């Protein structure tokens, strides 16, 4: 109950605003660091070199604060409040405890619940180890789709960074999953694999089907055609991604479009060949001598 009222608005009249600072100080496990106003406790911890585990947090996307693995204690005078470090905005001088018994117990308990849900993920187990959680006392009572912990990073990256929103949440509560609309392969998916890259527990995978010249995002079943290198025939990536890059980059040069149709290896050899045959004046430059000359000029 205390927690509920503790988070309620403070009268932010003269009295309240006075306490807000431009560069508040966070005392984190005894260490003092200054941060910019509205930086998070997690930012402060990073600055102080204090490690706090995270799962649903990623600097590239908005923070949901949903996994609850980054819980720390905030000093409130006569009591301590458990808060999530990733999204608590620092506006005044505060004191935070990361290694206190209660904070550690809170984080470990959350991890134990997650391990019960997703017992197969090696990444999750590795994080658990680092946190000092060897196993979970809980049975698996909720079935997750291939170790999904519902951190929401895949949904966020697809909507906010890639701008496609090809996947989203479906259902509610224990039946919640991440899925493409109507659980059919998404028409909006471009096969870029950003979701797979950002997934912290290895649930989402990019599968290349060479025979069909397609890339598949598993488990969503969305597929996209692969571009193959014009030179050597190696698969490069999703054709839709290349097309979008070409569309977004305003290029007048034919050369660039040509390069985009080659795999990185062939691209490099082509550029190297071009440089070799270029009609440019090539001479060895003595860097030390050049620097001396410049300083003399000054």
Partner 1 sequence: MSTIASKRLNCAADLERIREQLLSLRVASAKSVHICTGPGCAAKGSPRLYELFCEAVKEAGVDVEVQAKAVGCHGLCECGPIVLIQPSDIFYQRVEEPDVAEIFRETVLGDRVIERLLYENPTTGEKAKSADEIPFYKAQKRVALACNGVVDPTKITDYIAEGGYGALAKVLSVMTPEEVISEVEVAGLRGRGGGGFPTARKWRSCREAEGSPRYVICNGDEGDPGAFMDRAIMEGNPHSVLEGMLIGAYAIGSSQGYIYVRNEYPLSVECLKQAISQAREIGLLGQNILGNSFSFDIRINRGGGAFVCGESTALMASLEGRTGEPRAKYVHTIESGLWGKPTNLNNVETWANVPAIINNGGEWFANIGTERSKGTKVFSLVGKVENTGLVEVPMGITLRRIVDEIGGGIRGDKLFKAVQTGGPSGGCIPAEHLDARVDFDELTKLGSMMGSGGMIVMDEDTCMVNVAKYFTDFLQKESCGKCTPCREGLSQMLHILSRISRGEGEVGDVEELGTLAEILEGTALCALGKTAANPVLSTIRYFRDEYDAHILDRRCPAKECRGLFRYEIDAEACKACGICLKNCPADAITGEKKVPHVINQEKCTLCGTCWEKCPFTAVKKV
Partner 2 sequence: MAEDDKLIDGIVGRYDGEVGMLIPMMQDVQAECGYLPVEQLRVLSKRLEVPLSRLFAVATFYSSFRLAPKGAHEVTLCMGTVCYLKGAGGISEAICKEFRVEPGGTTRDRLFSFQAVNCVGACAVAPVMLVDGRYYGGVTPSSAIEVIYGLSPHEATAEKEGAR
**Spatial distance between the Cα atoms of 233 and 179, rounded to a whole number of angstroms:** 33
Residue whose CB is less far from partner 2, 7 or 187? 187
- Number of CB atoms found within 10 A of residue 245's CB: 14
d(CA 154, CA 75): 34
Question: Both tokens of residue 112?
Answer: 């134990």
Binding part of the chain for partner 2, among 49-57, 83-91, 165-173, 248-256 by CB under 8 A, reads: 165-173
Stretch that binds partner 1, among 7-15, 22-30, 154-162, 257-265 (CB under 8 A): 7-15
DSSP class of 257: H
The reply on whether position 171 binds partner 1 by CB under 8 A is yes
Tell me whether residue 156 is exposed, middle or buried, using C-beta atoms within 10 angstroms of its C-beta: 0 to 12, 13 to 18, 19 or more. Answer: buried
Strands 80-84 and 71-75: antiparallel
Interaction of residue 87 with partner 1, rule CB under 8 A = yes
Among 30, 89, 122, 132, binds partner 1 (CB under 8 A): 89
Q: Which range, of 6-14, 73-81, 131-139, 163-171, touches partner 2 by CB under 8 A?
A: 163-171
- Residue 231, contacted partner among partner 1, partner 2, none, CB below 5-8 A by kind: none
Query: Rounded CA gap, 179 and 181, in Å?
Result: 6
Q: Is the backbone peptide bond immediately before 219 cis, with ω within 30 degrees of 0?
A: yes
Record the tokens describing residue 159, joined without a space.
């909507």
Going by the DSSP 8-state scheme, the letter that residue 183 receives in this structure is G
Of 129 and 160, CB closest to partner 2:
160
Interacting residue with partner 2 among 51, 79, 169, 256 (CB under 8 A): 169
49 binds partner 1 (CB under 8 A): no
Pick the stretch among 45-53, 64-72, 187-195, 247-255 that binds partner 1 (CB under 8 A): 64-72
Q: Which positions from 237 through 276 interact with partner 2, judged by CB under 8 A? A: none
User: Look-up: residue for tokens 């991604």?
Assistant: 241
Binding mask of the shown chain, residues 185 to 224, with x at each position contacting partner 2 by CB under 8 A: -xxx------------------------------------
Q: Indicate whether 179 belongs to the interface with partner 2 (CB under 8 A).
A: yes
> Taking the alpha carbons of 212, 213, 218, 224 in that order, is the dihedral positive or negative?
negative
- Could you tell me the end-to-end alpha-carbon distance of the chain, in angstroms, rounded to an integer? 70
Would you give the distance in Å from CA 47 to the centre of its chain? 18
Coil, strand, or helix at residue 158? helix
User: What minimum distance in Å lies between the beta carbon of 74 and partner 1?
Assistant: 10
CB of 40 to partner 1, least distance (A): 9
Contacting positions for partner 1 (CB under 8 A) = 1, 3-5, 7-13, 64-69, 71, 82-84, 87-89, 102, 106, 109-110, 113-114, 116-117, 137-139, 141-142, 149-150, 169, 171-176
């Amino acid at each position: 109950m205390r927690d509920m009222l503790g988070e309620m608005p403070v009268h932010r009249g003269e009295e309240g605003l006075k306490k807000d600072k431009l560069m508040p100080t966070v005392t984190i496990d005894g260490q003092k660091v200054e941060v910019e106003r509205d930086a998070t406790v997690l930012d402060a911890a990073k600055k102080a070199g204090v490690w706090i585990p995270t799962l649903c947090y990623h600097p590239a996307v908005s923070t949901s604060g949903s996994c609850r693995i980054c819980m720390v204690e905030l000093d409130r005078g006569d009591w301590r409040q458990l808060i999530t470090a990733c999204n608590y905005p620092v506006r005044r001088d505060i004191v935070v405890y990361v290694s206190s018994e209660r904070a550690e117990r809170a984080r470990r308990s959350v991890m134990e619940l997650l391990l019960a849900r997703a017992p197969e993920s090696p990444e999750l187990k590795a994080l658990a180890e680092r946190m000092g959680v060897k196993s979970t006392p809980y049975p698996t009572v909720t079935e997750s789709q291939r170790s999904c912990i519902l951190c929401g990073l895949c949904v966020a990256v697809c909507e906010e960074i890639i701008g496609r929103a090809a996947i989203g949440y479906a259902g509610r509560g224990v039946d919640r999953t991440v899925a493409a609309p109507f659980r059919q392969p998404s028409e909006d998916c471009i096969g870029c694999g950003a979701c797979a890259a950002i997934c912290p527990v290895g649930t989402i995978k990019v599968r290349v089907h060479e025979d069909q010249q397609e890339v598949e995002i598993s488990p969503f079943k969305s597929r996209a055609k692969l571009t193959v290198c014009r030179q050597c025939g190696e698969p490069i990536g999703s054709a839709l991604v290349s097309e979008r890059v070409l569309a977004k980059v305003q290029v007048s040069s034919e050369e660039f479009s040509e390069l985009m149709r080659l795999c990185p290896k062939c691209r490099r050899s082509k550029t190297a060949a071009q440089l070799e045959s270029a009609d440019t004046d090539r001479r060895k430059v003595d860097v030390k001598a050049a620097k001396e000359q410049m300083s003399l000029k000054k």
